[in-house]
Structure 1
Amino acid sequence: MTAHSRSLDKASLRYAVPAKVRLAARSGALASATHGLARGYVQANLAILPERYAFDFLRFCLRNPKPCPIVEVTDPGDPQPRLSAPGADIRTDLPGYRIYRDGKFVEEVGSIEAHWREDSVAFLLGCSNSFDQILLRHGIAQRHTEGADGRISVYRSNIECVPAGIFHGPVAVTMRPIPSKDVVQVVELSSRFPIAHGAPVHIGDPAAIGIADLKQVEWGRYNEPGPDDVPVYWACGVTPQAVAMAAHIPEMITHSPGHMFVTDLHIDDLRTG
């Protein structure tokens, strides 16, 4: 965490307009997770790759809408997401980025201006952070928003994505501890928002989806279920990072887990059903 991010009052961004959150990231004042910020607005995962791989990746997303719901795909070389956040800049407006080469994570950076190419295509993919406010509105506490760093628990599951071209790999999942009395309502509420991964992919025993130990978090931090909680799992937009490693793609740039792009789209406007 930088000196800027330590001095930033993140509480002031909880109900801020998305542009304010993006500008805080662009300036370097925000270099931590965006969970709980600009509540009610759609947050997006990011995957950037060269144009030659973009069509196969588009097919991959269309075949795997649970982990990869498409918010927007930019034109090659254009860093502005003109439909979901006009005036924003994909290269600077996230608090953190990860760079993968040949299937390996190589570095984490605060800006990707030096890595942007004339043939770069950016995919913005929906995120379950976007319905945190929906659950809070219904009185269902979100453990990860209560922590100092706002990190959710993310794991690699044994659920396989439908492959497309070179892209293949497992579905990454988020885990939220949900009070047992609220599980049915949470399933019903989240199912209305496919742009935010929709209904859970699994409820209960983590071993059933290949997670041996909930304490061994692959991304984010461990949010321990309480005695009356049930672990509930949603498909996660970190999946492209698992896919990048599995497919050994020459280069892919993603968001750092939890460090999302905040769009101007309001989650209530994207409800279905």
Structure 2
Amino acid sequence: MLSYGTPAGTQPYRPLHGHNAIVTGASRGIGRAIALHLAAAGANVVINYRQNETLAVDVVSTCRQFDVQALAVRADVSQAQEVASLVQTAAVNIGPPTILVNNAGIARSGLLLDTTEDEWDALMNANLKSPFLCAKAVLPYMIQNGYGRIINISSIWGLAGGSFEVAYSASKGGLISLTKALAKEMGPSGITVNAVAPGAVQTDMLGHLDPEALQMLAEETPVGRLGTPEDVAAAVLFLALPTSSFITGQVLSPNGGLIT
């Protein structure tokens, strides 16, 4: 279980105590790790999922071990009506959202010439439209409170572009541009907007690679290993902290030195 130090030796360090977070796509992988890191830091957490209720409920149970409120809410975050219901449910049950982590997304690889229009649309809906809808839904609460943290999960391919991943790279690059532009709009309102662009992280998204390919990818990474969901979650937690108030419109890339 995650734990935080006790500066005074008596009380756990809970820098997000009293904060309310929504993490999309949080039933497994990176989203799960993010939810647990936020809960360990004291935040109440809404676990959004689209399909696997069992996994989402398990994340909720683990979050509650940190003595915080946690709730699983099913929603397809590429649909405006479902996003509205998600955010309203969060506000009613744990309180107005102060942290939004747009983690839900999909990955597809293949030549641009082999990419269908439906595949393109699916990637844009999941990776770019969803963060737009979720941000739009939480911003009225954050503006009213004069405080908020929006953190978008992009990818190194959104920064550098990836061969055989043109559509995916475009969607994640668009998310970085959304991040930078929205940060400028929301800065005067006390709301920061940042992105985390992970490198090669060992999750289901790399499940199509065989062990040999994974080993080669690890060897190509200067630190000599693949990333973990916890590596990404640590970056998200840093940006979610109240003390990160002077950091906005930035892209933090935990990638092991794969790109610089």
TM-score interval, smaller chain: under 0.3
Higher relative contact order (CA 8 A, sep 6+): 1
TM-score by length of 1: 0.26
* Bigger strand fraction: 1
Structure richer in helix, relative to its length: 2
Tell me the TM-score normalized by structure 2. 0.26
